[in-house]
Chains A and B, each alone.
Chain A
Amino acid sequence: MKINDALPLEYRTEENSNKIFGFWLFLGAEIVLFSTLFAVYLTLWNRTGSGPTGKDIFEINGVIWETVLLLTSSFTCGLGIHAMRLGLKKPMMIFFGITLLMGLGFLGIEITEFVNYVHEGATLQTSAFLSSLFVLLGTHGLHVTMGFLWGAGILIQIKRQGFTDETTNKSFIFSLYWHFLDVVWIFIFSFVYLKGLM
């Protein structure tokens, strides 16, 4: 096995740097996936039928909190990787823990928002606008949920095994995923909520 000591631990074996490279390819496919969902939403956003419009149902306060939580969690996730590269296990676990808690907070707000929509009579079946909205937001929310479970699993492994080739590699790949979800959220924040309320 070829080992390159000049790189951070998570890259050092060839297999691990290939895993990181492969994950970037996956993120490329994710960009395309979310683009198709945005294309559908941007086509149908004013096909509200007899249902409510975006202006009627969007609540900016919740959306601002969601944005702050995800931006901050992306920051703490980056700090976690930084601490990992310094070899500091405890700070890394704290930063990742904060990241995951904020992810959970984000999900809490999003679920409350969905419940409110449904109470206001805005369901998946109400109009083309709402179908495309729920599918776009739901796909992102599902990714965050998966990220939470994935990150929690990695935290347990870090606690048990410490920093090894494998656990650092997994943590770094998780950080790529988490930052990517933040990027997707920025686009949802801008082109769904802000554009809808403009």
Chain B
Amino acid sequence: MARLFPIRHVMGYIFSLVLSLVALGVIYWDLTFTAGIVILIICAAIQASLQLVLFMHIGETSSKKQLYLNIAYAVFVGLVTVFGTLFTMIWGVR
């Protein structure tokens, strides 16, 4: 039975629940908007890396360099899309 629940997965699961709880804290604690957003970004980034490395086994084969590069590039395009849009549509309009 114990071998069905590898410690890495169990720890990863507990850690992801803790991260979600911390993120949930932003609506109960009295924080500034910036502090709240920073907490959310940090928790989400750790949470995503956790899934990628632990559960999706991104680094287990010899093509891991290409896989990391592919994800990094996708994230880069995504961030440019999100922040580029915010920059032109919201922050740029003064």
B partners with A: yes
CB neighbours of B75 from chain A (8 A): 31
Using C-beta atoms within 8 Å of the partner chain, give the interface range for chain B: 35 or more
Q: Could you give, for residues 14-54 of chain A, a 1 whenever the CB lies within 8 Å of some chain B CB and a 0 otherwise?
A: 00010001001101110110111011101100000000000
Best-buried of A25, A29, A39, A180 by chain B (most CB within 10 Å): A39
- Tell me the minimal C-beta distance from A85 to chain B in angstroms: 10
CB neighbours of B9 from chain A (8 A): 75, 78-79, 82
B51 touches A183 (CB 8 A): yes
| A186-B47 contact given A28-B71, A71-B17, A198-B27, CB 8 Å threshold | yes
* B window 3-50: CB within 8 A of A: 3-6, 9, 12-13, 16-17, 20, 23-24, 26-27, 31, 33, 36-37, 40-41, 43-44, 47-48
Interface of A, helix, strand, loop or mixed by DSSP: helix
Q: Could you give, for residues 61-86 of chain B, a 1 whenever the CB lies within 8 Å of some chain A CB and a 0 otherwise?
A: 10100110011011101110110111
* Bound: A189/B24 CA distance, A: 9
* Bound: A39/B81 CA distance, A: 7
B55 touches A74 (CB 8 A): yes
| A31-B55 contact given A21-B63, A64-B24, A91-B4, CB 8 Å threshold | no
| A182-B51 contact given A28-B70, A195-B36, CB 8 Å threshold | yes
Q: Could you give, for residues 153-189 of chain A, a 1 whenever the CB lies within 8 Å of some chain B CB and a 0 otherwise?
A: 0000000000000000000000110011011001101
A83 touches B4 (CB 8 A): yes
Chain A residues within 8 Å of chain B by Cβ, number: 50
* Bound: A7/B90 CA distance, A: 49
CB neighbours of A191 from chain B (8 A): 40, 44
B55 touches A189 (CB 8 A): no
CB neighbours of B73 from chain A (8 A): 28
A188 to B, closest residue via Cβ: B44
B77 to A, closest residue via Cβ: A32
- Tell me the minimal C-beta distance from B10 to chain A in angstroms: 8
CB neighbours of B78 from chain A (8 A): 31-32, 34-35, 38
Partner of B55, one of A40, A78, A190: A78
- Tell me the minimal C-beta distance from A1 to chain B in angstroms: 18
Cross-chain pairs A/B with CB under 8 angstroms, 6 sampled: A28-B71, A31-B77, A74-B51, A86-B4, A183-B48, A191-B44
Given A35-B81, A190-B43, 4 more pairs with CB closer than 8 A? A17-B63, A21-B67, A36-B81, A86-B4
